[in-house]
Amino acid sequence: MHGNGRDGNGARPRVVVGVSGSLGSLAALHRGLAEARGRGAVLVPVLAWEPPGGEYGYRRSPCPPLLAAAREAAEQRLNDALDAAFGGADPGVPLCPVVIRGETGPALVDVADRPDDLLVLGRGGGPLHRRLRRPVPGYCTRRAVCPVLTVPVPDLLHDLHRLETAHRPLTPAVELLAAKR
């Protein structure tokens, strides 16, 4: 990077942030904003989406109106996440939101395709989520041409999970055992 904060082609550096709307991705947006400010970079929030049933399912049974509705829902989810992260205020850096069709990891690596980019990801999803889907941070770390920064899940999310678990209703079998005591 040259002293003017631009790469050799004159383009501004970019901070690409993976966004899903989860608390982890909102934390990544906040960290990405701080990184973009510090670097004089463009903030590029990216939300990847796939057709209902995935690409294979869509190829087997295409439905253009359903595809259009899925894309519209993805655009709305990104707008909602930006509103939640920034409260409708101007983030103070150039913002270039991207909604891209594709699996999350490959889509993020495709967008963050310059060595001077920074890819910021939230660590989120519980153990079940990680078993059902490929972990995005690991995929991106292995394949990205730029640095990848993973932001830990906010402590608030851990506290919320603990409260939720502590106040979860008992199953009928557990209630029956508790009543016999």
pLDDT at 170 over 60: no
Q: Are β-strands 118-122 and 98-101 bridged in parallel, bridged antiparallel, or unpaired?
A: unpaired
**Alpha-carbon span 108 to 112, nearest angstrom:** 6
Q: What angle do CA 123, 147, 41 make, to 5 degrees?
A: 95
SS3 57: helix
pLDDT digit string (tens) for 100-116?
999 999 999 999 999 99
- Identity of the residue numbered 146: C
Give percent of the chain with pLDDT exceeding 70: 73
* pLDDT tens-digit map of 115-137: 999 999 998 654 434 444 568 99
The CA angle 48-37-150, to the nearest 5 degrees, is 45
Distance of CA 74 to the CA centre of its chain: 12
- Please state, rounded to an integer, the average pLDDT across all residues of the chain: 83
pLDDT digits (tens, 9 = 90+) for 10-61: 688 999 999 998 888 999 999 999 999 999 999 999 999 999 889 988 889 9
Q: What is the pTM of this model?
A: 0.78
